[in-house]
Amino acid sequence: ASPRTVQRAVVRQGALSIHIDYGPVVLIPDADRADHAIGQIAAFTGAPPPAAQETAIRALTADAQKWLMFALTLVSDNIAAASTLDRGVATQRLVDHAGSALHVPQPDPARAFVREAMRVSGWSETAQAQRLSAPVDPDLSAIDTIVNPPPSTGAIGDPLDAAALNARLPPALTHLLTTLDPAGRANVGTRSLSAFQAIGDVVQTEARSFFAPYADAAIGNLYDLQPAWHASANIFDVGTLTPNAAQRRSYLSNRAEIIGRSDTTSSIVNDANIFADVHFESTRATDRAELAGIVATMEADPAIAPVVDRLIQHTGRKTGTASATRIGLVTDFDADQRSACADHWVGIDTLCHEVLHALVHPDFVATVGRVAFPQVIREGFTEVLGVQLFNDRIVPKANADAAFKTTLETGVTGAPCPAPVAATIGYGSAGSGAEDIRTRVHDDNFRAAYFLGRPELAGLPP
């Protein structure tokens, strides 16, 4: 039997309802489709389409013109939920996309056409963000303190104590590096790269579902690239990297942020509150230059550079953007510290984190230049979301569904593995700060900020 053709329906997209009524367009003859679409645009925008747009519409195939008519019907009928959407821009997006559209309006049993049309027009990201309210005081002030932490002594705006920064940060950073250096491992286990390549797409799919309706709502998001992007095909072994000076400096800068902002000591942090004590402000060019000088000096140290190289080769990472996105994972582990099973689940947690890096909206990432503690933006939000995906979706589903757990553990020595242990939020103050923000603004705002590029919904500067 052929799939059922729907003319009227209501589709849920998170908390929103999309009303479908194709009655006005379903019987338009092929020869009249271009004129009808042009009339729809005039009614929707309040003005006839520009000559170039009209020419483009008339040049479309009959099927593409049909796609455009149905898409315009959907967007115009539901515009109240996205009243801030620029109608002219939205129609141009639909016209530009119609010739390469992936899904037909009818039949559309999985609502793939509805999702495509609403996403491409910008309706989905606008409507999902528009229904949310940005935080206000006292939460807004508390969030500002997290991303712009005050000094521990003196007043905000006091100049950097460069001498103290140079005296305290290098030894503290060196302590972290030498403590984490994998060179001292006596018993090295092997992690199966192919096992992770086999489940990359699984984690990618679970992320889309778990973070709906935000993860795939933005224009140009990773889920809607053509050709399609697949995590499994883009996982590589970080051990094959040959780090260069720029990568070493990037690693050192990242870890300097963790050490500098740490407010407690631990096995890897032997000096707390360095940045707060010395009045370091990353929004000041002079302070950034001082930190860059420390990083450059350490990177050039022949005793430090090889340690950093080894750590880069043992740290998960996301490289590239859009279709060039790749995820690097570690392929060995300290077998004296954990079993192959335990390590595999640690690797899945890392995979969750890196997949989230791949899904972040570039407008959210741009916020790093507008706060004093950019690590909260760069890593903290990603860490919180990655741990949510692991703890609240992947692990519970594996515990409840033996087949799903078997899929995740295929190729792992010792499988079936014991029930996985829940992950904890890392990245020091950046991770805990991001979690504090999440509890204040709640999941919807937190996720909309990250996936839709609306940082103001999480109390961050737009």
Which residue in the block uniquely carries the two structure tokens 């503690």? 373
Q: Tell me what pLDDT residue 38 has.
A: 98
Q: Helix 162-180 crosses helix 285-299 at what angle (to 10 degrees)? A: 40
User: Cα–Cα distance between 75 and 56 in angstroms, integer?
Assistant: 20
Residues 391-403 have a mean pLDDT of 98
- What phi and psi, each to the nearest 5 degrees, are found at residue 333? -155, 165
Taking CA atoms, 73 is separated from 31, 41, 43, 121, 156, in Å, by 18, 10, 11, 12, 54
The 10s digit of each residue's pLDDT in 12-61 is 999 999 999 999 999 999 999 999 999 999 999 999 999 999 999 999 99
Please report the pLDDT score of residue 424 as a whole number: 98
Extract long-range pairs of 259-266: CB within 8 Å, 24+ residues apart: 259/169, 259/172, 259/173, 259/176, 260/169, 261/149, 261/373, 261/375, 261/428, 261/429, 261/430, 262/428, 262/429, 263/429
Structure tokens at 381: 């939000």
85-120 pLDDT per residue, tens? 999 999 999 999 999 999 999 999 999 999 999 999
Mean pLDDT of 414-430: 95
pLDDT of residue 416: 97
| pLDDT at residue number 6 | 61
Mean pLDDT of 164-168: 98
Is the pLDDT score of 356 beyond 80? yes
Q: Is residue 107 a contact partner of residue 61, using CB atoms and an 8 Å limit?
A: no
Environment class of 23 (CB within 10 Å of its CB; exposed 0-12, middle 13-18, buried 19+): exposed
Closest CA to 280 of 376, 378, 374: 374
Question: φ and ψ at 284, to 5 degrees?
Answer: -95, 130
End-to-end CA distance of the chain: 51
User: Which pLDDT does position 2 carry in this prediction?
Assistant: 42
What does the alpha-carbon distance between residue 44 and residue 35 come to, in Å, rounded to a whole number? 14
As a 3-state breakdown, the chain gives helix, strand, coil percent values, each rounded to 5, of 60, 5, 35
Query: What is the C-alpha to C-alpha distance for residues 449 and 113, in angstroms, rounded to an integer?
Result: 25
What's the whole-number average pLDDT of the chain?
96
Check residue 55 and give its pLDDT: 98
Of 181 and 157, the structure prediction assigns the larger pLDDT to 181
Q: What is the mean pLDDT of residues 137-161?
A: 91
Q: What's residue 5's pLDDT? A: 60
In percent, the amount of the chain with pLDDT more than 70 equals: 99
Cβ-contact 45, 148 below 8 angstroms? no
Average pLDDT over residues 381-408: 98
User: Pairing state of beta strands 235-237 and 326-329?
Assistant: parallel
CA–CA distance, 231 with 88 (Å, rounded to integer): 35
Over residues 416-426, the mean pLDDT reads 96
| Sheet of 326-329, strand order | 235-237, 326-329, 317-319
For residue 289, the SS3 value is helix
pLDDT of residue 233: 98
pLDDT, tens only, 335-349? 999 999 999 999 999
Q: How many CB atoms lie within 10 A of CB 21?
A: 14
Cβ neighbours of 89 (radius 10 Å): 12
Note the pLDDT of residue 156: 81
Q: Among all chains, which residue has been given the structure tokens 């589903």? A: 397
Domain ranges of the chain: 8-130, 139-458
Q: What mean pLDDT is predicted for residues 444-456?
A: 98
4 pLDDT above the threshold of 60: no
pLDDT in tens, 245-304: 999 999 999 999 999 999 999 999 999 999 999 999 988 999 999 999 999 999 999 999
What residue spans of 273-367 are helical by DSSP H? 274-278, 285-299, 305-312, 340-359, 362-365
Return the sign of the alpha-carbon dihedral for residues 94, 99, 103, 106: positive
Q: Which amino acid, 348?
A: I
For 12, the token pair is 């849920």
For residue 8, what pLDDT band results from cuts at 50, 70 and 90?
A: confident
Per-residue pLDDT, 3? 46
